Amino acid sequence: MKQVYKLNTKMLEDSEIFFSYYEKLSAKRRQKIDGYRMKKDKMLSLGAGILIDKGLETFGLREAKVRIVEGKYGKPYFPDYPDIHFNVSHSKKMVIAVFADVEVGCDIEYVDSVDLKLAERFFCKPEYDFIVGHQEQERKEAFYRIWTIKESFMKAVGSGMMLPMDKFYIKIGRNIQVEQHYNNEEYGIEDWKEGEYHAALCWNRGKKVMVCE
């Protein structure tokens, strides 16, 4: 089971709408929103709270009544509901959240300019080769495709940016594969365009199947 929720924060520019959602969320989420100085950051944080609340509602729960804590590397989870997994990402004016019955991660990025030197330095060689293998006008899309998939995988395993880049790379062909030596798990990948954004979703598919010949 996987369910993705999306929200454009433009709707929250209306102060009446903003506070109607704000008042329904937990004190912890409201405190987090209040901690931001910029209006755009407040709206993104509120958007994340709205989507978490919407996802929990399908389980008969509400964000204001559920404890959310962070793991060792900052990934949030519900300690009282270990079978409900979720993840949130936001960029510019878009927020996405995914709920699943397995470990899951997601990422969304606004498609902007690209520094290929950054890709060459931080991406694995097969990923960099995939990007520069495209025509110049298509390289930006290829870059953000790799970036969002990598981020979603790192969030799915729960290690975030602490995961060494040489432990995995993204292989894009007819299917998207994560070639990784971090654990003995298999992962599914989906990615898609969302207007001016690119997004990706990664989820745990269980233990790798060992084939004996």
Q: Rounded CA gap, 109 and 196, in Å?
A: 9
How far apart, in whole angstroms, are the C-alpha atoms of residue 124 and residue 168?
Answer: 8
d(CA 43, CA 56): 20
Query: 36-77: per-residue pLDDT in tens?
Result: 999 999 999 999 999 999 999 999 999 999 999 999 888 999
| Residue spans per domain, the chain | 2-101, 107-207
Q: Is the pLDDT of residue 211 over 50?
A: no
User: Out of 3.40.50.1370, 3.40.720.10, 3.90.470.20, 3.30.1360.120, which CATH number does the structure's domain 107-207 have?
Assistant: 3.90.470.20
- Structure confidence by residue, pLDDT tens digits, 62-116: 999 999 999 988 899 999 999 999 999 999 999 999 999 999 999 999 999 888 8
Look at domain 2-101 and name its CATH class. Answer: alpha beta
Q: Say whether 107-207 and 2-101 share the same fold.
A: yes
Under 8 Å CB-to-CB from 98, ≥6 apart: which residues? 2, 3, 4, 5, 86, 87, 104, 105, 106, 201
Task: Tell me: pLDDT of 213 over 50.
Answer: no
Name the residue among 83, 85, 56, 66 with its Cα closest to residue 28: 66
| E strand or H helix that includes residue 194 | strand 185-194
Q: Summarize pLDDT for 195-210 with one digit per residue, the tens.
A: 999 999 999 998 775 5
